[in-house]
Amino acid sequence: MPTVARRLSLLGGALAALVGLALFVLGLWAAIGLGPSGRAAFSTTRQTPGIELVGSAVLAHVDAPVEVTVTRADGGPVWLGLAHDADARSAVGSSPHLSVDRVHYPSGAVEASSVGAGVSKATQMLGGDVWQRTSTGTGTARLVVSPDAAPLSVVATSANAAALGRVRTTLAWQHRTWFFEALAAAALGLTIAALALGYLRHARRRPTPRRSAAATGATRSTLSTRATRATRSTRATRSAQVPSGPQVGTSVPPQASGTGQVGRE
């Protein structure tokens, strides 16, 4: 039973070391990626019809303000509108549009798909009252979306009948504490890995525990299996040279003990 416990503790130590190292690497990688400002940015460049929709699955998935930046390759006008997700989707309707649905952290991938096949409402939607905030620009427009109790979406259009063309969409979250959290995670991982490795090293160097005199042959056989040949050889030599009587865990035969007693006198 003690052997099983020892194996489990060694296994746990190894596991802790591995997880600690992984946490250290990930934390360090995240800290480098975020930088001291704690900024996580995701970008995608796509060919876009008249409308682009950055959905609530992206914006509401984060507990910090999101900066949405849409940049047209041709430098044309860009209009951004923020609305409740239901309202934004209602305004877009079946218009052909690029839907930005998800971002993946830490890979940085952005999932987007082209949907809708109806008549574009790009020129009409600007007149609605569903837009909580809007932003316009030439070539690029930017809008910062704060977390809200209700899901929000951002819609981008050219503000006219023309398609947006090739568009680069960047979503950026910034939270200074994220950098320090990543550093803390790396430090925690490093600490755990160091402790676990230290424990493993200590456990491997520790001598094999001795057995009591009442130990059975089966026990001795077990010890013999775990010990190295060199150790067994040394023990055997020591027993022959210094026969100091029956020792715990040795296999000195009963008749040899008399010799030992004579020699000691």
Partner 1 sequence: MRRTLRPAAVAAGVALVLSGCAAGSTVAGLQPPPAPETRVAPLAPPHARAIVDRAFTAAAQAESATGAQADQARATAYTGAALTAARAKARLDSVQPGLGGGPPALSPSQPGLLAVSRGFGWPRVMVAQTVPAEGSLPVLHLLTSPNAVTPYRIAISASMLPNSTVRRFDPLAQGSRLVTDGTGLAVKPATLLTTYAASLSYPSRRVADPAFMPDPFATQIRQNAASQASSVAAQSGFTQQHEVVPGGIYAVEQAGGGALVFSLMRRTDTFTVKPGQKLTAPKEFTALVPGQSQITSRATMTTLELVVFGVPAAKGDATLLAASEQLVAAAGS
Interface residues with partner 1 (CB under 8 A) are 2, 5-6, 8-9, 12-13, 15-16, 19-20, 23, 26-27, 30, 34, 40, 56-57, 60-64, 83-88, 90-91, 93, 105-106, 121, 124-125, 127-130, 132, 148-151, 173, 175, 178, 181-182, 184-185, 188-189, 192, 195-196, 199
Q: Which is nearer to partner 1, 8 or 248 (CB)?
A: 8
Q: Which is nearer to partner 1, 60 or 70 (CB)?
A: 60
The H-or-E segment that residue 260 falls in is helix 256-264
Please list, residue by residue across 74-103, b when 16 or more beta carbons sit within 10 angstroms of its beta carbon and e when fewer do.
eebbbbbbbbbbebbbebbeebbbbbbeeb
Question: Considering the complex, what minimum distance in angstroms separates the CB of residue 157 from partner 1?
Answer: 12
d(CA 133, CA 114): 25
Q: How far is CA 217 from CA 161, 188, 229, 237, in A?
A: 92, 47, 18, 20
Question: Considering the complex, what minimum distance in angstroms separates the CB of residue 2 from partner 1?
Answer: 7
d(CA 145, CA 84): 11
Question: Considering the complex, what minimum distance in angstroms separates the CB of residue 89 from partner 1?
Answer: 9
d(CA 197, CA 213): 34
d(CA 53, CA 167): 12
Nearest to 88 by CA among 23, 161, 179, 156: 156
Q: Which is nearer to partner 1, 222 or 250 (CB)?
A: 222
Q: Which is nearer to partner 1, 79 or 178 (CB)?
A: 178
d(CA 154, CA 164): 15
**How far is residue 187 CA from its own chain's centroid?**
14
Question: Considering the complex, what minimum distance in angstroms separates the CB of residue 161 from partner 1?
Answer: 15
Q: Which is nearer to partner 1, 124 or 251 (CB)?
A: 124
Q: Which is nearer to partner 1, 203 or 242 (CB)?
A: 203
Question: Considering the complex, what minimum distance in angstroms separates the CB of residue 200 from partner 1?
Answer: 10
Question: Considering the complex, what minimum distance in angstroms separates the CB of residue 199 from partner 1?
Answer: 8
Count the Cβ atoms, other than its own, within 10 Å of residue 30. Answer: 20
d(CA 31, CA 46): 29
Question: Considering the complex, what minimum distance in angstroms separates the CB of residue 243 from partner 1?
Answer: 32
Q: Which is nearer to partner 1, 189 or 243 (CB)?
A: 189
Confirm if 81 and 203 have CB atoms less than 8 A apart: no
Nearest to 91 by CA among 79, 101, 75: 79
